[in-house]
Structure 1
């Protein structure tokens, strides 16, 4: 996966980057509710997995917004062409481990690889957590027990700029189905307009499956 340096001298957003890089708490999280009525209908009609569909849709949303593919290392900013999706995988013991799935824009290709890697993760020894050696990932987690209204994540330090996406329980609302989803980002790289684009593309993806 290629990465492209972003020269600060030519980047229109450099002043915002420098501002928020100096904050003690530069991260913020936004939660919204998605319409998953089409997804639930497809679940019955075509046997579509809501979980893997959400993984794919999140990948679509992330890769539609260049700011969500940006990372910084010190004062160097770069943009990845593509990132892996790292998701929590529950274990029979009640604990969890992590899987890493490369994003592919074709859903059947992505789903097949996601199924393979998630099953492989269940047999691995250890947590396989990212040590910080790579930043070409996004962190994903599903909380199917909760219809949450807000969510915050544990973060190792102020310079962690990897997006984190979580989604919750699918609940009926009249003749529709809704689902909460939250994303947490570093404000030095990502603004509210970017998150609007992310959720718009994600919803389009869910509606198109």
Structure 2
């Protein structure tokens, strides 16, 4: 949940990651909540939606409660298509580390960013964590993606500083 908080805050600092294509128009949200996967005991998963505008001390207990509620509900629904528009789709793969990943997207494609991270690995005194970002290229280009990664580094630096 700590890393999810940093990812959400980093993404929300990039206006292009808050933009969506809806009915042929570009709309921009003030802040986009995350919809992340939560593992269930039987090996399946469900979705949980969280907002990260609050300070971490307020976010964490609410996030824990929301995840527990999501586990009880076991839903794979993000609501209607219009309700899912502002979401940042987030997944983690804590079982593997990777150098690249291909994300599944619906057809026709939506314009929600997808953020995934895997298992970290150590090399000497340094830790490396794979983080991928998939975006709709009509809204986001390399500069915007670089800003996300720079923001994520800054958010993580706040935790380690």
Report the TM-score, using the length of structure 1 for normalisation: 0.72
Output the CA distance in 2 between the equivalents of 1:125 and 1:197: 34
Q: Please list, as runs of the form range in 1=range in 2, the aligned pairs for 1:111-126 lying within 5 A after superposition.
A: 111-126=60-75
Match for residue 100 of structure 2? 150
Match status 1:89 vs 2:38: yes
The structure with the largest strand share of the pair is: 1
Which residue of the partner structure matches residue 60 of structure 1? Answer: 9
CA RMSD, Structure 1 to Structure 2 (Å): 1.3
Question: In 1, distance between residues paired with 2:52 and 2:76?
Answer: 21
Deviation track 1:14-37 (CA, whole Å, cap 9, x = no partner) reads: xxxxxxxxxxxxxxxxxxxxxxxx
Residue equivalent to 1:184: 134
8 Å CA contact 1:98–1:127 kept in 2: the answer is yes
> Which shifted more, 105-114 or 190-199?
105-114
Select the structure with the greater relative contact order (CA < 8 A; seq sep ≥ 6).
1
* Structure 2 residues without counterparts, runs of 5 or longer: none
Distance in 2 between the 1:118 and 1:126 partners? Answer: 11
Taking a change above 3 Å as real, the CA distance of residues 208 and 97 of structure 1, as seen in their structure-2 partners, is same
Provide the rounded CA distance (Å) in 2 between the counterparts of 1:161 and 1:184: 10
Aligned to 1:141: 91
Residues 61/125 of structure 1: CA separation in 2 closer, same or farther (3 Å cut) = closer
How big is each residue's C-alpha offset from its partner over 1:43-76, in whole Å with a ceiling of 9 and x where there is no partner?
Answer: xxxxxxxxx1210111111111000000111321
List runs of 5+ in structure 1 lacking aligned partners.
1-51
CA distance in 2, matches of 1:113, 1:100: 11
Q: Is the 8 A contact 1:60 1:105 kept in 2?
A: no
The answer for the alignment partner of 2:152 in structure 1 is 202
CA distance in 2, matches of 1:90, 1:126: 12
Task: Quote the Cα distance in structure 2 between the aligned partners of 1:71 and 1:126.
Answer: 24
Matched positions, count: 158
User: For the residues of structure 2 that align with 1:129 and 1:80, how far apart are their CA atoms?
Assistant: 17
Partner SS for 2:89: strand
